[in-house]
Chain A
Amino acid sequence: MISRHSIISLLCFLAFDIQVVLAQELPRSSEGALEWLKKMAEAPRRHNYSGVFIYYADSHIEASRIVHKNDQAGEHERIEVLDGPPRIVLRTNDEMKCYLPESKRIYTEKRWFRKFFPDILPQPFGNLDENYYIKEVKRERIIDHESQIISLIPRDSLRHGHQFWIDTQTGLLLKSAIMDSGQIIEQFAFAQLEINGEIQSDLLKPNSFMAQDGWKVTNLLTSVISEGELKWQINDLPSGFRKLVEVKRNLTEKPVFVDHIALSDGLATVSVFIESMAEDTPTPTSGFFTDRGAINIYVRVLEGNKITTIGEAPMETIKLIGDSVIKIN
């Protein structure tokens, strides 16, 4: 006969089981947390700032100086990477120029589709709540500013988690981290920051050496094309992901244009590059690759075309997107 103890144990186990099941059902994000994200998304358009921030991933540290200013013409930004080979990026609204002084090259990009620290949220940030459970965690002091920590917990396994440290006064993002299974895999953080201080317009202009002759200019973007013009399509987008843009790219010395489809779930961005291979070229290396931080890469070949999928998302998601690319007849 089943003893009373064993039945009680069974009931306890089942009750625990139910709790586990219910725990996986994340509730809707709180209004307070969403308000913090709204404030954070608006901050780069409302405030001028300058300072130095650190990128840290896989034991690699890189410092960059940033100057950001808003005026009647829009946003102006200059980011200079201070460690390793010099790199200076000047941005005016959607147009970017990247200067590489050592190789005297300039790369231009006329469609700024990405969002980067500290301006990482799109406006409006849309349906983040559908993909992440957003909650207020606590207050913490970051570089002498009081910050509100906001945690974004993914609702499925298709994306990484995020944590934001938001300046309580201005809403500017002071620190951000990408999480994978509770571990930080990539983070940005201001090491020095001045908000709403005087910003001389000279700080946003190219240096005199950058204005000299002898620079080779490469325009990475040839044309933005409307949806459906590409002969490629991503058959099934993973839940929460939407198409940002479809463009034809001029990738440096390549003789052919490369089709580029950019996707995003509001935070994570995934790029799909489709390159037609010439008949005499060797078969490209297929497989899975990782880069520093949250980047994962998947390469496959389809009907004489190399499809490379890159993004700050779990490999499962990258593979799912890469495998969904189909050719439209």
Chain B
Amino acid sequence: MKSKVSALMDGELDQQDVTNVIEAIRKDDDLQNEWRSYHLIGDTLRKSSRLSMNISSRVSQKLITEPTVFSPNVTRAIQKQKYKVFTLAAAASVVAMISAGLIMNNLYRPQQITIAEQSNQENNLIAAPIMVSSPPLIHNYSHPPVEINDYLFVHREFSPGTTMRGQASNIHNVEYHERYGR
């Protein structure tokens, strides 16, 4: 029957069928709704300024049943909140950019990982950045080389605190990784 309602609207039914279909719509509420829907669709497709059906009463009914919100200026408050969030976020971004810049600048300063130019240039050293190489894996030995005492003796030039030749050694071996964590 719905297809006949659609055909009726399109003027495709003969006189007998038109009479039967109109009679059926009059008696059947579902078909009446179909009829209204088809007209609304047609008006929309044709962008008609005047609707084929009166919907004002149904809109009024909807407005009556809509709950009342007791919150004056609610729209402005939301806008204000959004504005504050935007301002704070912008400020945070600027601070983050400056902070990141400083951190990067600090991280890549040459003094911690750079090697200075060799020799006797006093003030105009040109430092080339070189990462401290990771130490090779070196095994632990139970006894340090005995020659170290000789070298210490010369390095310290007999100063107080120096382990002298023939004295008990204070030297002990260490694991680079354990001691320095790298």
Contacts and interface: CB of A to CB of B under 8 A. Distances in A.
- Real binding pair: yes
Interface of A: 1-2, 4, 7-8, 10-11, 14-15, 17-18, 21-22, 24-25, 53, 55, 57-58, 60, 62, 64, 79, 81, 84-85, 87, 89, 96, 98, 100, 102-103, 107, 109, 112-114, 116-117, 127, 155-158, 186, 188, 220, 227, 233-243, 249, 251-252, 254, 260, 262, 269, 271, 273, 275, 284-293, 295, 297, 299, 306, 308, 310-311, 315-316, 319-320, 323-324
Interface string B124-147: 010110101101001111011101
A57 B161 contact: yes
A273 B92 contact: no
Contacts of A1: 85
Contact of B132 (A10, A21, A85, A320): A320
Contact of B158 (A103, A107, A156): A107
A157 B88 contact: no
Interface residues of B, number: 67
6 contacts: A4-B84, A14-B99, A60-B170, A239-B111, A297-B151, A308-B151
A11 B91 contact: yes
B144 A21 contact: no
Given A21-B102, A87-B158, A324 B132 contact: no
Given A237-B115, A289-B172, A315 B92 contact: no
A287 B148 contact: no
Contacts of A96: 157-158
Contacts of A81: 160
A82 to B, nearest CB: 9
Interface in B88-112: 88-89, 91-92, 95-96, 98-99, 102-103, 106, 110-112
Contacts of B99: 14, 17-18, 21
B157 A114 contact: yes
B9 interface: no
Contacts of B91: 11
Contacts of B167: 84-85
Contact of B151 (A235, A271, A315, A324): A271
Contacts of B118: 233-237, 243
Interface of B: 84-85, 88-89, 91-92, 95-96, 98-99, 102-103, 106, 110-112, 114-120, 122-123, 125, 127-128, 130, 132-133, 135, 138-141, 143-145, 147-148, 150-161, 163-167, 170-176, 179-180
Contacts of A85: 164, 166-167
Given A4-B84, A81-B160, A324-B115, A285 B95 contact: no
B174 A290 contact: yes
B96 A288 contact: no
A289 B148 contact: yes
Given A55-B160, A236-B130, A243 B119 contact: yes
A55 B138 contact: no
B175 to A, nearest CB: 7
Given A289-B144, A291-B170, A239 B89 contact: no
Contacts of B154: 109, 220, 249, 251, 260, 271, 273
A242 B116 CA distance: 9
A288 B112 CA distance: 21
B161 A186 contact: yes
Contacts of B158: 87, 89, 96, 98, 107, 109
Given A7-B88, A252-B165, A238 B116 contact: yes
Given A260-B154, A316-B132, A319-B176, A285 B159 contact: no
A156 B102 contact: no
A315 B180 contact: yes
Contact of A156 (B112, B135, B150): B112
Contacts of A284: 145, 147
B148 A319 contact: no
A291 B116 contact: no
Contacts of A299: 145, 148
B50 to A, nearest CB: 44
A306 B141 CA distance: 16
Contacts of B110: 239
B151 A14 contact: no
A116 to B, nearest CB: 4
B140 to A, nearest CB: 7
Contacts of A25: 106
A6 to B, nearest CB: 10
